[in-house]
Structure 1
Amino acid sequence: MKVEVWSDFACPFCFIGKQRFETALEQFSNKDEVELVFKSFELDPHAPQSADHDVHDMLVGKYGMSREQAIAMNDNIGSEGRAAGIDFQFDSIQLTNTFDAHRLAKYASEQGKEKISQDLFKGYFTEGRRLGDHQTLIEMAVDAGLEEAEVRRILKGDDYASEVRADEAEAQRVGATGVPFFVIDRKYALSGAQSSKKFLEVLDATWKESRPLTILNDNQTGSGSADQCVDGTCSVM
Structure 2
Amino acid sequence: MRVEIWSDIGCPFCYIGKQNFEAGVKEFAGKDDLEVVYKSFRLDPTAEKEPEGSMAELLAKKYDKSVKEAEIMNSQVADAAKAVGLEFNMDKVVPSNSMDAHRLVKLAEAEGKESEAMNHLYKAYFTDGINVADTESLVRIGTDMGLDADKIREMLASDQYKEHVITDQNEANQLGAQGVPFFVIDRKYGVSGAQPPQAFKEALTKASEE
Asked if TM exceeds 0.5, the reply is yes
2:180 counterpart residue number: 179
Tell me if the contact between 1:184 and 1:203 (Cα under 8 Å) persists in the aligned partners: yes
In structure 2, the residue corresponding to 1:38 is in which secondary structure?
strand
In structure 1, the residue corresponding to 2:195 is in which secondary structure?
coil
What is the Cα deviation at residue 68 of structure 1?
A: 1.8
1:27 and 2:2 aligned: no
Higher relative contact order (CA 8 A, sep 6+): 2
Taking structure 2 as the reference length, what is the TM-score of the superposition?
0.98
CA distance in 2, matches of 1:56, 1:174: 31
CA distance in 2, matches of 1:75, 1:11: 15
What is the Cα deviation at residue 50 of structure 1?
A: 1.4
1:136 counterpart residue number: 137
Alignment deviations for residues 191-212 of structure 1 (CA, whole Å, 9 cap, x no partner): 1111111111101111111xxx
Q: Which amino acid aligns with 2:144?
A: D
1:147 and 2:141 aligned: no
What is the Cα deviation at residue 177 of structure 1?
A: 2.0
Q: Root-mean-square deviation (CA), in Å? A: 0.8
In structure 2, the residue corresponding to 1:44 is in which secondary structure?
coil
Alignment deviations for residues 69-126 of structure 1 (CA, whole Å, 9 cap, x no partner): 1111111111110111110000110121000110110010111112111100111000
2:171 counterpart residue number: 170
Report which of the two has the higher share of helix. 2
Taking structure 1 as the reference length, what is the TM-score of the superposition?
0.87
CA distance in 2, matches of 1:200, 1:50: 39
1:55 and 2:23 aligned: no
1:3 counterpart residue number: 3
Q: Which amino acid aligns with 1:53?
A: G
CA distance in 1, matches of 2:185, 2:45: 26
Structure 1 residues 193-212: aligned runs within 5 Å = 193-209=194-210
What is the Cα deviation at residue 29 of structure 1?
A: 1.2
CA distance in 2, matches of 1:161, 1:88: 28
Identity of aligned residues (%): 43
The structure with the larger Rg is: 1
CA distance in 1, matches of 2:161, 2:68: 40
Tell me if the contact between 1:113 and 1:145 (Cα under 8 Å) persists in the aligned partners: no
1:76 counterpart residue number: 76
The number of residue pairs the alignment matches comes to 209
What is the Cα deviation at residue 166 of structure 1?
A: 0.9
In structure 1, the residue corresponding to 2:50 is in which secondary structure?
coil
Q: Which amino acid aligns with 2:91?
A: D
Structure 1 stretches of 4+ moved >4 Å: none
CA distance in 2, matches of 1:125, 1:18: 14
Q: Which amino acid aligns with 1:147?
A: D
CA distance in 2, matches of 1:11, 1:85: 17
What is the Cα deviation at residue 162 of structure 1?
A: 1.2
Alignment deviations for residues 136-162 of structure 1 (CA, whole Å, 9 cap, x no partner): 001111111011111110000011111
Q: Which amino acid aligns with 1:11?
A: C
1:98 and 2:94 aligned: no
